[in-house]
Amino acid sequence: MRYLLRHVVLLPFLFAIPFGSTVAQHPVGDLGDELSQFGEARIAVTVSSPAQLQQIADVSSLLGFDGDQTAWVNVNAEELNKLVMLGYSYRHDPVPRPESEGLTATVGHLMQHWDAYPTYEGYDSMMIAFGQSHPGLCKVHEILTLNSGRKILIAQITSQNTPPGGKPKFLYSSTMHGNETAGYILMLRLIDYLLNGYGTDPEVTWILDNMEVWIAPLTNPDGTYFGGNHTVNQAIRRNANNVDLNRNYPDPRVGANPDGHAYQPETMAFKALADTVSFVMGANLHSGAEVANYPWDTWIKQHPDDGWWRYVCRMYADTVQANSPPGFFTDLDNGITNGAAWYVITGGRQDYMNYYAYCREMTLEVSGIFIEPVHRLPLMWDYHHRALINYLKEGWYGLRGTVTDSVTGNPLRARVTVNQHDADSSHVWSDAHTGHYYRLLEQGTYTVLYEASGYHSASFQVTVAAGDTTIRDVQLAPIGQRVPDRVLRHLKIWYDETSQCLRFRNLPAEPVSVKVYTVDGRLLQRDNLASECMPVRGGTGVRMIKLMHPNGDQIVRKVFVY
Ligand SMILES: [Zn+2]
């Protein structure tokens, strides 16, 4: 289902009952049957203004819009009632469910052909097998067992290589809407591709030697296997509690519980994961459109990294288009869109990850078809896998480094802010356990501020080149403690009789301030050290020379001037 909404400007929420009050009725016929069987149904609703479209999105799960008068909406009985009470007219438009779409096959068949879905048990054993057959590369974590007994599993994939600046953690997850199934298979196949490519494919080897990739193929297993563990044909959008999980997260604009439901077990499990693993970048896969949707979904204003977002999403769309037939992945702005420019949603995973978890996550709509027909599953891989790999590699570029305590050398959790740039929680934090930080940035020159509570702040100018990584390790000096020499520890100072200068060797790149005292503590001169030769004043004798680095590091040396 692809619907264009390119030129529609969303107006402020205008709450009005369009056609007067209407008495809600319990739907009968096919719609009533679908609601009672699945707890949800798809309807096509007639809309006449952007404000109405927004009102529909606020009370139900908007799926798409034709840019004219028709919006497609997923509703449960309660939400249908609200739309009826608001006076909207609608028709039933069920999601097609041909039996062939949901066929399952054995794990052995699947991992050769990738042209069917696994049974639930097949999925579970395939994930476990990924970990068991590649113990040096893959750990499979169970992040939740649902009341149904079904599990949300995530594969953590990386090599034993430990590069000095650490490995940025990247997150792919899919199918939080249980009936958006193409991404489920794409992700299983991507795990297989990475594990089997390590050591033979140079690109895959580089990725796993330099990055850590986390992949959760099925994040709403109760929705996908709603019809039982041996078919995805009866898949539904929502979870077992009839809640749309992509409206269930804390929202940066609206706050807690934006959908009025308790946080679902699936939501809490993912929040806990994002709280404990410092994901740098990611994508959350859906179906129903063919577009890379970037933040924000809840705010109409731009994300501070809007330019970077448009760059990585454009690259994704261009790469898919280069590997697929004309017309594929061209929705909205030729395959990319700002979320709110499409339609505003609250409680979405994307905005949660960006605002609260400091992770650059986009919503990736991989296919216009909800329950992907099995014969198209291999095509989906052909169309998307190059773009998935390229997008993943973007998590390695930009500014990075390690923040440590200048006294102990221990890693620090520090806030890293790009001055005159960051806003709305677009800053990042260094990891408390490793001190590593990663700030994905477009090329340019930036002033970056490093702050940690109990430490002197430090700021530096950095230049980031396109398609490259700038490394900036930072030591923060604790407040109120003497700081031994670290940055300045290799500095050499001596008096040069010929030029009558103090001479310095191994000066750091940053401006170092210098104070020159007599032995009895009288300040003779102070300066910012710009060159390796500093003329001395005040005659001969012993000098105490105190040098201070902007990070708080300082040393005192004695020199005899003669
Ligand atoms: Zn979705």
Pairing between β-strand 398-405 and β-strand 436-439 as defined by DSSP bridges: antiparallel
Distance 33 CA to ligand 1 centre (A): 23
Among candidate residues 395, 421, 452, the one where a domain is terminated = 395
- Evaluate whether 234 touches 228 at the Cβ level (below 8 Å): yes
Distance 179 CA to ligand 1 centre (A): 8
How many Cβ atoms from other residues are within 10 Å of residue 559's Cβ? 17
- Within 13 Å, how many C-alpha atoms sit on residue 357's CB side? 29
∠ CA 547-548-553, rounded to 5°: 120
Q: Could you tell me which of 182, 211, 216, 185 has the C-alpha nearest to residue 198?
A: 211
Distance 73 CA to ligand 1 centre (A): 12
Q: Is residue 498 part of a domain?
A: yes
∠ CA 238-242-246, rounded to 5°: 45
Whole-number pLDDT of residue 528: 83
Strand order in the sheet with 501-505: 492-496, 501-505, 533-535
What does each of the 562 residues of the chain score in pLDDT, given as a tens digit?
Answer: 334 433 333 333 333 333 333 444 567 678 999 999 999 999 999 999 999 999 999 999 999 888 889 999 999 999 999 999 999 999 999 988 888 888 899 999 999 999 999 999 999 999 999 999 999 999 999 999 999 999 999 999 999 999 988 999 999 999 999 999 999 999 999 999 999 999 999 999 999 999 999 999 999 999 999 999 999 999 999 999 999 999 999 999 999 999 999 999 999 999 999 999 999 999 999 999 999 999 999 999 999 999 999 999 999 999 999 999 999 999 999 999 999 998 899 999 999 999 999 999 999 999 999 999 999 999 999 999 999 999 999 999 999 999 999 988 999 999 999 999 999 999 999 998 899 999 999 999 999 999 999 999 999 999 999 888 999 999 999 998 655 557 787 788 888 888 888 888 888 878 888 888 887 778 888 888 777 788 887 777 778 888 888 877 778 888 888 7
**In a shared domain, residues 296 and 425:** no
Strand partners, 282: 171, 361
Distance 366 CA to ligand 1 centre (A): 10
Distance 544 CA to ligand 1 centre (A): 68
Give residue 542's Cα distance to chain centre.
58
Distance 291 CA to ligand 1 centre (A): 12
Gap between the Cα atoms of 116 and 108, Å rounded: 11
Distance 18 CA to ligand 1 centre (A): 28
Distance 436 CA to ligand 1 centre (A): 33
**In a shared domain, residues 382 and 238:** yes
**In a shared domain, residues 152 and 225:** yes
How many Cβ atoms from other residues are within 10 Å of residue 469's Cβ? 16
Distance 462 CA to ligand 1 centre (A): 38
Whole-number pLDDT of residue 223: 98
Gap between the Cα atoms of 57 and 75, Å rounded: 11
Gap between the Cα atoms of 433 and 411, Å rounded: 6
Q: Is residue 483 part of a domain?
A: no
Distance 93 CA to ligand 1 centre (A): 17
**In a shared domain, residues 376 and 412:** no
Distance 348 CA to ligand 1 centre (A): 10
Q: What is the pTM of this model?
A: 0.82
Distance 243 CA to ligand 1 centre (A): 13
Q: What does residue 45 show for φ and ψ, rounded to 5 degrees?
A: -115, 140
Distance 286 CA to ligand 1 centre (A): 4
Distance 41 CA to ligand 1 centre (A): 14
Distance 237 CA to ligand 1 centre (A): 7
CATH number, domain with residue 78? 3.30.70
Q: Could you tell me which of 49, 47, 54 has the C-alpha nearest to residue 87?
A: 47
482: which residues sit within 8 A by CB, 6+ positions away? none
Distance 460 CA to ligand 1 centre (A): 41
**In a shared domain, residues 391 and 407:** no
Distance 346 CA to ligand 1 centre (A): 14
What tokens were used for 80?
Answer: 């249908």
Distance 146 CA to ligand 1 centre (A): 20
**In a shared domain, residues 388 and 405:** no
Distance 287 CA to ligand 1 centre (A): 6
Distance 302 CA to ligand 1 centre (A): 22
Distance 290 CA to ligand 1 centre (A): 11
Residue indicated by tokens 């594990």: 195
Distance 17 CA to ligand 1 centre (A): 28
Among candidate residues 447, 476, 505, the one where a domain is terminated = 476
107: which residues sit within 8 A by CB, 6+ positions away? 118, 122, 125, 126, 129
Q: Is residue 481 part of a domain?
A: no
Distance 363 CA to ligand 1 centre (A): 9
Distance 75 CA to ligand 1 centre (A): 14
CATH number, domain with residue 506? 2.60.40.3080
Question: What is the four-CA torsion angle of 367, 301, 304, 430, rounded to 10 degrees?
Answer: -80
Distance 248 CA to ligand 1 centre (A): 13
The residue segments making up the domain with residue 276 are: 99-395
Q: Could you tell me which of 186, 205, 183, 185 has the C-alpha nearest to residue 194?
A: 205
How many Cβ atoms from other residues are within 10 Å of residue 9's Cβ? 7
**In a shared domain, residues 221 and 272:** yes
**In a shared domain, residues 157 and 105:** yes
- Evaluate whether 446 touches 421 at the Cβ level (below 8 Å): yes
Gap between the Cα atoms of 425 and 298, Å rounded: 14
3-state secondary structure 375-443: HHHHHHHHHHHHHHHHHHHHHHCEEEEEEEECCCCCECCCEEEECCCCCCCCCEECCCCCCEEEECCCC
Distance 204 CA to ligand 1 centre (A): 29
For CA atoms 41, 121, 207, 270, give the dihedral sign.
Answer: positive
Distance 228 CA to ligand 1 centre (A): 21
**In a shared domain, residues 225 and 266:** yes
CATH number, domain with residue 349? 3.40.630.10
Distance 285 CA to ligand 1 centre (A): 8
Number of domains present in the structure of the chain: 4
Whole-number pLDDT of residue 98: 84
Gap between the Cα atoms of 58 and 69, Å rounded: 18
Kindly tell me the burial class for residue 179, based on how many C-beta atoms sit within 10 Å of its own C-beta (0-12, 13-18, 19 or more): buried
Distance 219 CA to ligand 1 centre (A): 12
CATH number, domain with residue 457? 2.60.40.1120
Distance 63 CA to ligand 1 centre (A): 8
Convert the pLDDT of each residue in 167-197 to its tens digit: 999 999 999 999 999 999 999 999 999 999 9
Among candidate residues 40, 70, 94, the one where a domain is terminated = 94
Distance 181 CA to ligand 1 centre (A): 10
Q: What does residue 301 show for φ and ψ, rounded to 5 degrees?
A: -65, 160
Distance 175 CA to ligand 1 centre (A): 7
Convert the pLDDT of each residue in 300-310 to its tens digit: 999 999 999 99
Query: Residue 7: which H helix or E strand, with range?
Result: none
Distance 347 CA to ligand 1 centre (A): 13
Convert the pLDDT of each residue in 217-235 to its tens digit: 999 999 999 999 999 999 9
Q: Is residue 349 part of a domain?
A: yes
Strand partners, 142: 153
Whole-number pLDDT of residue 484: 52
Distance 350 CA to ligand 1 centre (A): 11
Distance 180 CA to ligand 1 centre (A): 6
- Within 13 Å, how many C-alpha atoms sit on residue 531's CB side? 5
Distance 238 CA to ligand 1 centre (A): 10
Whole-number pLDDT of residue 66: 84
Would you list the DSSP string of 157-173? E--S---TT---EEEEE
Distance 546 CA to ligand 1 centre (A): 61
**In a shared domain, residues 317 and 457:** no
Q: Which spans in 29-181 are helix H? A: 29-38, 50-59, 77-85, 107-113, 120-133
**In a shared domain, residues 185 and 303:** yes
**In a shared domain, residues 402 and 465:** yes
What tokens were used for 537?
Answer: 């004043």
